[in-house]
Amino acid sequence: DGGITQSPKYLFRKEGQNVTLSCEQNLNHDAMYWYRQDPGQGLRLIYYSQIVNDFQKGDIAEGYSVSREKKESFPLTVTSAQKNPTAFYLCASMRTGYNQPQHFGDGTRLSIL
């Protein structure tokens, strides 16, 4: 089945540690996105990529980094510079074109130890 796979489902980070969240899609979508969701809040865009080897900062990129070496993969690294990383992280992908919907993975919940 085609879809978006995020792993792991749950992740714990120690102080000063970088952690990487995985996002893989087999939908052949060009564009991929990372969002952060805090309890009771909407979705805030961290980074997005419209094509391989290119990505742009979203609204809350500080403390995060991404790469897009393959069309299928868009990993997100939460660095030690992100002082409040506890949140639910969602990856999405989209077929580029006029007014296309985004499709989401099942999320990764990151907590601080």
Contact with another protein (CB under 8 A) among 7, 18, 53, 96? 96
The answer to whether 82 contacts another protein (rule: CB under 8 A) is no
Report the DSSP beta bridge partners of residue 89: 36, 108
Report the DSSP beta bridge partners of residue 112: 13
Contact with another protein (CB under 8 A) among 68, 74, 76, 102? 102
CA 31 – CA 8 distance, rounded (Å) = 21
Report the DSSP beta bridge partners of residue 25: 4
What letter does residue 27 receive in the DSSP assignment? Answer: S
**Min dist. Cβ of residue 59 to another protein (A):** 10
**Min dist. Cβ of residue 76 to another protein (A):** 14
Torsion over CA: 40, 87, 85, 63 (sign): negative
- Chain residues that interact with another protein, rule: CB under 8 A: 4, 6, 31, 33, 40-43, 45, 48, 50, 58, 88, 90, 92, 94, 96, 98-107, 109
